[in-house]
Amino acid sequence: MAVSDLFLRRSWLLKSAIAMPLLAAMLSGCGTAAKNDTFDLSAPAGGSGPAAKGRQILVQQPTALQALNSEQIVIKVSSSEIQYLAKAQWSDKLPRMVQAKLVEAYENSGKVGGVGVPGQGLAIDYQVVTDIRAFEIRTGGGSQAVVEISAKILNDRNGSVRAQKVFTQSVPTGGSSNEVFVKALDRAFAGVTSEIVDWTLKSI
């Protein structure tokens, strides 16, 4: 074997001896990395509004600012500063979760002829268009879960606004753990969702 070949072989073996432990350490680190706790929202059952069995509604995906349009759980520490809850996340992007739970809440009411989302081919009478304005834990002056959603009901045949309203619920957290924060947000969201469903049934 030529001297140059022997040198190259030894160089390769030395690099391999260094690289393999590094690769093993990286893979080991990936295998033991901490995972975020993942949380879902619940949809309320029933509804106190009047029945609208002859109406079918479409629930659009809500709009939201970028800070809320993610899986992160927002903590608002001041009027101009937000953080995200450590080691915790929603099971999907928040607007998609809100849309799915609103559909489920309308279905749970048993008082509409049909409810769906874009692409399902329903013959729609009204659209429910929402905007998530707040979905956060506010820490100033005693922590509270705050959910605020603006809603419009659009006549699907002519695009006119049948009704519009802003719905807000605040719920004291009563603690500071991730689970406590998420449960408070879930209660606030359930309250807002119930109000939206009842208001819709009265408006259509």
Over residues 35-53, the mean pLDDT reads 87
Residue ranges of domains in the chain: 1-33, 37-203
Q: How confident is residue 203, by pLDDT bands cut at 50, 70 and 90?
A: very high
In three-state form (DSSP H/G/I as H, E/B as E, the rest C), the secondary structure along 12-47 is: HHHHHHHHHHHHHHHHHHHHHCCCCEEECCCCCCCC
Look-up of token digits 């992007």: 93
Q: How confident is residue 49, by pLDDT bands cut at 50, 70 and 90?
A: confident
Q: Which of these, 179, 34, 182, 52, lies nearest to 113 by C-alpha position?
A: 52
How do residues 152-187 score in pLDDT, each as one tens digit?
999 999 999 999 999 999 999 999 899 999 999 999
Q: Quick check: 49 and 98 in contact, CB under 8 A? A: no
Look-up of token digits 């901490």: 34
What is the topology classification, in CATH, of domain 37-203?
Rossmann fold (3.40.50)
- Model confidence pTM above 0.85: no
- pLDDT of 124 strictly over 80: yes
Q: In percent, how much of the chain has pLDDT > 90?
A: 71
